[in-house]
C-alpha cells in the first residue's frame, strides 16, 4: 500500500509537519509506503498531489483544516482513491461530519490502516466563466461569507472563537442584499426567489465556521443539498436568533426558509461566496450535487 501525505505546513502554527511525521511513523510501522507532500502554496500542493495520483497511490491522508481537505477533494472527486484526515485546522467541519474531528495523527493513520471506507456526496460549483470547483461542507454567500472573510484575516484568537468575534463585528453593518435564487427541488419542482436576503447558504454538510449547524438536517450521503435563506429583520431580532443558529434550531424562525434541492443558482451584486472556508468567487454561481463522488476513511 502507498499513501500520499498532503500537509499544510502552516496549520495550527506549524503543527502540520510534526503531525504528518507521527502518522508516517505509524503507517510505516505497518509496512505502508508513504510520500509526503508539503508545499509552500495551494497551487503547488495541487500539482504535487495530481502528479502522485497519476503515478498511482492507494490513499491520501490530508493533515490540515478544511482548506487542505478541499485541495484533496479537487483531485480525488470521482476517483476510487480514499481520503483520510488529520484534523489540525481552524474549522475541521468536514472532519467533524465524518466522525474524524477528535482523531490525533496516530488515530487518523489507524483509520487508513483499518481500511474501512464510505462514499459521500460533494457539491459542484460552476462559475460564470464555466470553471468548476467542488466542496464538501457549506457554501456561504452574504453576511456569513463576510464573516468568513474577516475571520480569515484575523490572527487571534484561533479556533471557533475567531468566527464568533468576526460574526459580532460584521453584525454592526448587517444589511439585506437583493438576491435571485433558483432552486431545483428534491421532488423535481422548481422555485425562484427574488428578494432581499441577509444570506444564502448551500450545505452538503451540516456545519461551517468550526461547528455552526447552519444546515442542521444536511446529510453527506442523501444525494441532495440543503439551502438555508435568511430574510432581513431588525438587528435586535436577528441578534436574538444567533443562539438558535448555534444550536441548529433556527430553521423554524419566520425569517428563515430551508429547501432540499438537487441544484441551485444564486445571484447577488457584490457578493463573494465562500466554501470549505475559502473564497470561491463572485456570484452568480450554480451549485449541483454530485452523489457518491468521494471515498473517505471511516474512524477505525
**Rounded to whole angstroms, what are the CA distances from 184 to 109, 256, 258?**
40, 19, 13
With 80 as the cut, is the pLDDT of residue 157 above it?
no
Active-site residue numbers? 278
Asked whether the predicted pLDDT for residue 143 surpasses 70, the reply is yes
Whole-number Å distance between alpha carbons of 294 and 124: 12
Q: What is the mean pLDDT of residues 106-130?
A: 97
pLDDT for residue 160 is more than 70: no
Do the Cβ atoms of 61 and 260 come closer than 8 Å? no
- pLDDT above 70 covers a percentage of the chain that reads 96
pLDDT at 62 (0 to 100):
95
Report how far residue 152's alpha carbon sits from residue 155's, in angstroms, rounded to the nearest whole number. 8
Q: What is the pLDDT of residue 125?
A: 98
CA dist., res. 155 & res. 115, Å (int): 37
What is the DSSP code string of 82-112? -EEEEE-SS--HHHHHTT-TT--HHHHHHHH
pLDDT of residue 257: 97
Decide: 14 and 26 in contact? Cβ < 8 Å: no
For the chain, where do the domains classified as CATH 3.40.50.10330 start and end? 2-116
Evaluate whether 127 touches 279 at the Cβ level (below 8 Å).
no
All three cell numbers of 270, joined, read: 457584490
Residue range(s) occupied by CATH 2.60.200.40 in the chain: 126-292
**Would you tell me which CATH number, out of the four given (3.40.640.10, 2.60.200.40, 3.40.50.2300, 1.10.10.60), belongs to the domain 126-292?**
2.60.200.40
Tell me the pLDDT band of 210, cut-offs 50, 70 and 90: confident
Tell me yes or no: is domain 2-116 CATH 3.40.50.10330.
yes
Question: CB burial class (10 A; 0-12, 13-18, 19+) of residue 85?
Answer: buried
Give the 3-state secondary structure percentages of the chain, helix then strand then coil, rounded to 5.
30, 35, 35
Q: Is the per-residue pLDDT at 148 higher than 90?
A: no
Taking residues 46-72, report their average pLDDT.
Answer: 94
| Average pLDDT value for residue range 143-169 | 73
Whole-number pLDDT of residue 48:
94
Q: What is the pLDDT of residue 167?
A: 73
SS3 289: strand
Amino acid at each position: 500500500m502507498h499513501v500520499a501525505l498532503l500537509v499544510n505546513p502552516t496549520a495550527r502554527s506549524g503543527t502540520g509537519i510534526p503531525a504528518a511525521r507521527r502518522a508516517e511513523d505509524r503507517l510505516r510501522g505497518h509496512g505502508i509506503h508513504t510520500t509526503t507532500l508539503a508545499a509552500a502554496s495551494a497551487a503547488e500542493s495541487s500539482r504535487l498531489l495530481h502528479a502522485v495520483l497519476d503515478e498511482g497511490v492507494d490513499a491520501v491522508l490530508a493533515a490540515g483544516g478544511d482548506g487542505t481537505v478541499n485541495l484533496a477533494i479537487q483531485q480525488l472527486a470521482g476517483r476510487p482513491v480514499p481520503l483520510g484526515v488529520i484534523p489540525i485546522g481552524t474549522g475541521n467541519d468536514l472532519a467533524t461530519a465524518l466522525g474524524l474531528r477528535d482523531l490525533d495523527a496516530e488515530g487518523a493513520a489507524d483509520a487508513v490502516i483499518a481500511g474501512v471506507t464510505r462514499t459521500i456526496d460533494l457539491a459542484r460549483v460552476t462559475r460564470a466563466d464555466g470553471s468548476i470547483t467542488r466542496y464538501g461542507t457549506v457554501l456561504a454567500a452574504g453576511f456569513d461569507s463576510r464573516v468568513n472573510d474577516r475571520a480569515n484575516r484575523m490572527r487571534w484568537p484561533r479556533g471557533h472563537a475567531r468566527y464568533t468575534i468576526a460574526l459580532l463585528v460584521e453584525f454592526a453593518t448587517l444589511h439585506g442584499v437583493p438576491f435571485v435564487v433558483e432552486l431545483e427541488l428534491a421532488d423535481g419542482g422548481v422555485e425562484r426567489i427574488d428578494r432581499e436576503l441577509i444570506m444564502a447558504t448551500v450545505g452538503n454538510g451540516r456545519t461551517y465556521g468550526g461547528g455552526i449547524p447552519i444546515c442542521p438536517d444536511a446529510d453527506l450521503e442523501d444525494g441532495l443539498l440543503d439551502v438555508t435563506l435568511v430574510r432581513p429583520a431588525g438587528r435586535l431580532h436577528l441578534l436574538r436568533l444567533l443562539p438558535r443558529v448555534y444550536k441548529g434550531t433556527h430553521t423554524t424562525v419566520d425569517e428563515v426558509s430551508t429547501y432540499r434541492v438537487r441544484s441551485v443558482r444564486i445571484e447577488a451584486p457584490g457578493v463573494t461566496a465562500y466554501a470549505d472556508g475559502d473564497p470561491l468567487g463572485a456570484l452568480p454561481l450554480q451549485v449541483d450535487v454530485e452523489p457518491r463522488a468521494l471515498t473517505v476513511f471511516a474512524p477505525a
